[in-house]
Amino acid sequence: MTQLLRVQNFGVSRDGFGTGENQSLERPFGNADPGELFAWAGATASWVGRHEPGGSRGLDDYFTRDFAHNIGAEIMGRNKFGPQRGPWQDHEWRGWWGDEPPFHTPVFVMTHHPRPSFTLSDTTFHFVGGDPATVLEQAREAARGKDVRLGGGVSTVRDFLAADLVDTLHVAVSPVEIGAGVRLWESPDELLDRFHLDVVPSPRSGVTHHLFWRK
Amino acid sequence: MTQLLRVQNFGVSRDGFGTGENQSLERPFGNADPGELFAWAGATASWVGRHEPGGSRGLDDYFTRDFAHNIGAEIMGRNKFGPQRGPWQDHEWRGWWGDEPPFHTPVFVMTHHPRPSFTLSDTTFHFVGGDPATVLEQAREAARGKDVRLGGGVSTVRDFLAADLVDTLHVAVSPVEIGAGVRLWESPDELLDRFHLDVVPSPRSGVTHHLFWRK
């Protein structure tokens, strides 16, 4: 069974930005409004952040319900984990997600700076150096035969695309403009030399799902 | 956690038929060609019948990969199980699926005629009488907290819809005409009084996915 590296439910603006400028503790997405980028996901029944009944079970829900399906580990860049840069100063900071992170698997945080692993609920965060291929190898082993999710942020997705390690990529393009920040692409066409693409407008949320898989 | 009753990857023709006339051992779908109704699914990477690498991982694959996701039991009508009618004559017939049926859960076959349960690989078939609500109760218990799949055939889906027991319904409408046989609907609009509907054309296969969920 192939172990895929999958990017899932990755939100970008119509102009291709996944996050804005000036990330901070208060604003994980900088000047960009995550409420706009992820409104489509929040409206679904299977959204990981949903704690009350309700939500749609149409097209958009197929994507949120697939988030953890057959995933055995996640890789994320340091900027998805938190706003600190350079050597770790504050070990009290343990990610944006509180005591019950939504991953439920080992998570590999890419950083040049060592830090001990820790566990919150059923998610263990490991802090690892090395290039994308090396980190992917570690994550695959931890995933015990299941797939690995590449969680972002934008620069991390770009690095893994540049190293040609991504097997499937789901990007939800929202009808908003961000204008400045970290850009995934100028245009989705940039990936067509290496990927098949299905472009699927959601009839409900206004998002356009872009589904890439390796040729 | 709600236990849903889900119809998934149910194929019908543009004129609303899920199967043709004259079902037989050789032709589970009667005069209809299942190759036409399910071509979209067979082309995907996650199709249960796929034994070789390859296949698409775009929109259509989200549906085939969701087939077994969080499913703990299946309910099927007798005509999905096989072409025999009336009291069971031939206990050698154990379904269309060979020694490794693609269900991997308990399966409840609805019939007025008693027959002992049997197990093939990790699928156990039970033969049960009673109305849809009673059978659903048995299947829910067997599913141990997971959802129940309603597998068909057409008449069985109609019976459960009439009893208002279906929570989500995915129907893939193929661009073919069957003309006679067993009809799911004259038009999908018949369900709009009770269900939300997302209509999603596949950019790849020509199928139009209809995603219903209870209002």
The single-letter code of the amino acid at B208 is: T
**Structure confidence at residue A1 (pLDDT):** 61
CB < 8 Å to B199, chain A: 203
Query: What's the pTM?
Result: 0.94
Confirm if B83 and B23 have CB atoms less than 8 A apart: yes
b/e code A156-194 from CB counts within 10 Å (16+ = b) = bbbbbbeeebbbbbbbbbbebebeebbbbbeebeebeee
Tell me the domains of chain A and their CATH numbers.
5-84+101-214 (3.40.430.10)
CB contact under 8 A, B66 and A63: no
Closest chain A C-alpha to B196 CA, distance in angstroms: 8
- 3-state secondary structure at position A85: coil
Tokens of B44: 């995907």
ipTM for this prediction: 0.93
CB < 8 Å to A196, chain B: 56-58
pLDDT tens digits for range A2-33: 899 999 999 999 999 999 888 888 888 888 88
b/e code B189-204 from CB counts within 10 Å (16+ = b) = eebeeebbbbebebeb
**Structure confidence at residue B1 (pLDDT):** 60
pLDDT tens digits for range B42-78: 999 999 889 888 999 999 999 999 999 999 999 999 9
List residues in chain A touching B: CB distance below 8 A. 2, 45, 53, 56-59, 62-63, 65-66, 69, 167-168, 196-200, 202-204, 209, 211, 213
Q: Which residue in chain B has the smallest CA separation from A170?
A: B58
Rounded to whole angstroms, the Cα distance separating A84 from A123 reads 21
Tell me the C-alpha to C-alpha distance, in Å, between residue A41 and each of A32, A81, B170.
Answer: 16, 20, 20
pLDDT tens digits for range A95-113: 999 999 999 999 999 999 9
